Amino acid sequence: MDDNRFHSLPVEDLLNLYSSKPDGLTDEEVKKRIEKYGLNELEEKKESALLIFFRQFNNPLVYILLVAIIITVFMGDYIDAGIIAGIVFINGLLGFFQEIKARSSIEALKKLTETKAKVLRNGKEVTVSVSNIVPGDIVLLEEGDVVPADIRLIESVGLMADEAILTGESIPVEKDASVVLQENTPIYNRKNMLFKGTIIVRGKAKGLVVATGRNTEIGKIAEKIKEKSPETPLNRALKRFSLKWMIILFIILVFIFILGLLQGRDLYKLFMLIISELVSAVPEGLPLVVTFVLVIGALALAKRKTLVKYLPSVETLGSATFIVSDKTGTITEGKLQVEEYVARDEEFLYLTSALCNDASLEKGDPLEIALLKWLEKKDINWADLRIKFPRLWEQPFDTKLRFMATVNEINGKKYLLIKGAFESLIELTRTEDEKLLEDHDKMAEKGLRVLAFGYTEIKSIPEDLSSIKIEIAGLIGFIDPPKEGVKDAVETAKKAGIKVVMVTGDNIKTAKAIARKVSIYSDGDIALTGSDIKKYNDTELYQILKRTSVVARATPEDKYRIVKSLQKNKEIVAVTGDGVNDVPALKVADLGIAMGSGTEAAKDVAKMIITDNNLAVIVDAVKQGRIIAHNIRKVIYYLLSCSFGEIMLLTSAFLLKLPLPLYPLQILWINVVTEGVQDKTFPFSKEEKDVMSEKPKKPEKTFFDKKQLFDISFTAFFMGGINLLLFIYLLEITTYERAVGITFTSLIANQWFNGFQAVREEPFFKNILKSFTVNPYMYLGVGLGMALQLSATYIFPEWLHTVPLTLTDWLLVLTTCLSLFLIIEIKKWIEYFIERKK
């Protein structure tokens, strides 16, 4: 049947529909239903590990390298082919292990509710495994039980359930078996239903199982987990660049090949050029260096209580334009406390709080626990009061009456003590109190959960409480308070151009009150409810979300739709959550951030875990993410400008009908002593400027905007041009082998000097001390590269087609290096003054 109608039909109709009876099913019928409906478990179709492994190589950059490997093998250069193949394989292996780790999401949902439950079978009460519960079973529940399936209540006594795991609402909800609800009643208002995985915090119940396994509300969430997480902004940007570069490279190589044939070039040398161009063109170290940047970033984040499960998510933090945060446990403490109270009779307000209360500090209704903690702050020993004034009678909390009452002997007299909803207690008072109503409304407007407390002296224990008249002792307002540091974090996020939206299952008044306290909500902002969201189509929803800071009474589907709507409009969305209700949104978000104290299901689908459940930690992590993004931008500039510089040199020499200025093996060596050493130091670059004063940039703009492409082209043009002029000059005064050897060393040294400039976005001489201290490891890297190059030049020159250099040769090398360095420095100063003028 339609799974949205269970709450809207009478119990008798449902019993008939499921061919069940109040004393339960027979064992034979249970076996038939297990065959029909399956076990009460969540299933997962697993992709083979082999398929996951091969999928890691589905990348345009890898395709270019594979072509290079094939041509290199065809030409007989097996060592070169082996080196390139090794780099590709290691990169694929890293991605494979990351993905294998992320396959445990549904397993965590299984663990969540795999417990025992009491059911009626063959007219008797028995305990069975939750997986063997079937639709039509009659389940018995009491305080502390985990609900084993989706259940329509048949009977309930003072029943309250904690549904935070499903709806995000921090306060337990009242349940009532007797009501029949409208068909369109949202999940958080279905008083006659219990849902799998939620917890009974008070009372007893008997109910009919109406859904098991994947058909439960949690099961539907598990189905959504199967939806693939989106690619990270970094991966998307790199793939887009790789595809464009592959097309450009293909056009260049086809042009060179055709031109070479027309010029009558030697076919072997032509293939050697194409291999050289391929090896130069592909920054094969880029995936590994980016991974290294992310690893170093992840280690830095770990020191700030942020654990990274999926490395590319480190950069996603820096690109985030929206943070969609839950309330309970992230923005707030996740524990109720007394925020405000109004006393008409202070003594009886304290007495009722202590005596009309079933909780202890460790166990019970969160509201009652909060009362005990409040009394302790008042230096009132509630445990002594319970001994001194014993309970003679009790009326457990009743969901219809909406209050709890006890009779206690106080100083030799019997007193009825009562606490509950203000509306219920006001009907039992002797006189109307306008001031009390005003106090209640003020507290409710602040988003507080308000309880009223009353008392009256009695002669005997009452049979009917409706005839009793009481005095109101006072009102107490409860709140789940904001965490320390959250307000500052939200203001920092706003300054950084990041929109924070709080999505919660709580009521709209409470949500707005909390959001206002931490600066998420302010005058002029929009606050929506889950039911409001359903009124808008996707286009309208996005427009309204841009001005929305609070979404209350939200279901998992609402949060999921919010994320998808933002992503559809190219927003980068970070989502925080800790409950099963957050899992779909965490899964599809660009960055899912789970709380360390959250459910296993949430932690397993998230890409990042915050050990200190605090929005302030997330905003601090955003700052680190931006520093990391800047470092990735720098390393991309460095590697591509060096690669393009090599292409510029090779192509220019070819077009001028000159011999090859570099051998393919020399290009691979360049990648070892410059890109292979110097690029590994970029992850250690410190923050150069206040990254949180910048607005978020789209990933393609962060890494490949017009300025980045201009800088890469500018440096590559001059690097290739200077070394081409050097090569032409050397061919006129010395042998070809010596000209190649000197040009080879010159190009390497040029790339070192390019690295000194790449480490800072501002001019090098603007702050020389900062230029040397922003990343001292850069100079250590160059030192190691220099040692390797000196070995190649003087110890084994014949291996790399080079020659020992004289002092005059080194002066030529130094001249090209300083020329390139100063050209880049002049360009930076021009850009700096233009920017200042703006």
DSSP 110: H
At residue 298, the pLDDT reads 73
* pLDDT attached to residue 102: 42
Token look-up 């390019």 returns 754
Whether 253 and 261 have beta carbons less than 8 Å apart is answered as no
pLDDT tens, 628-661? 778 888 888 888 898 889 888 988 888 888 888 8
* pLDDT per residue as tens digits for the range 714-739: 999 999 999 999 999 999 999 998 99
User: Residues 457, 418: contact at Cβ < 8 Å?
Assistant: no
The residues with which 340 forms a beta bridge, in sequence order, are 477
pLDDT for the residue numbered 104:
47
b/e code 43-53 from CB counts within 10 Å (16+ = b): ebeeeeeeebb
> Do 202 and 14 meet the contact criterion of CB atoms below 8 Å apart?
no
- For residue 326, indicate whether it is catalytic: yes
Q: What is the pLDDT of residues 424-465, one digit of tens each?
A: 898 898 777 888 999 998 998 887 889 999 999 998 888 778
Average pLDDT, the chain: 83
Which tops the pLDDT comparison, 229 or 667? 667
Q: Cβ(807)–Cβ(795) under 8 Å?
A: no
Residue 428 to residues 34, 443, 475, Cα–Cα distance (Å): 51, 21, 15
Whether the predicted pLDDT of 105 surpasses 60: no
Does residue 346 have a pLDDT over 90?
Answer: yes
pLDDT at 112: 44
Cβ proximity of 792 and 669 under 8 Å: yes
Per-residue pLDDT tens digits for 289-342: 676 677 777 777 777 777 777 666 776 777 888 999 888 777 888 788 999 999
CA 351 – CA 763 distance, rounded (Å): 72
What's the pLDDT at 279? 64
What's the CA gap between 126 and 120, in Å, rounded?
Answer: 6
pLDDT of residue 79 exceeding 70: no
Instruction: Please tell me which of 215-219, 355-359, 608-612 the model is most confident about, judged by mean pLDDT.
Output: 355-359
Least confidently predicted of 577-591, 673-687, 814-828: 673-687
pLDDT at 223: 63
Which amino acid is located at 636 in the chain? I
Q: What average pLDDT score do residues 744-768 get?
A: 90
Structure tokens at 805: 């250099």
253-268 pLDDT tens trace? 888 888 888 877 777 7
Q: How many CB atoms lie within 10 A of CB 272?
A: 17
pLDDT tens profile 545-588? 999 999 988 877 888 899 999 999 989 898 988 776 677 788 88
Closest by alpha carbon to 791, among 748, 755, 736, 821? 748
User: Which residues lie closer than 8 Å to 84 by C-beta, 6 or more apart?
Assistant: 65, 68, 69, 72, 279, 284
Q: State the catalytic residue, choosing from 326, 398, 558, 809.
A: 326
Q: How far apart are CA 406 and CA 395, in angstroms?
A: 6
d(Cα 711, Cα 724) in Å, to the nearest integer?
20
Res. 2: pLDDT tops 60? no
User: How many residues does this entry show for the chain?
Assistant: 838
Please check the confidence at residue 130 and state whether its pLDDT lies above 50: yes
In this structure, are residues 708 and 629 in contact, taking their beta carbons and an 8 Å threshold? Answer: no
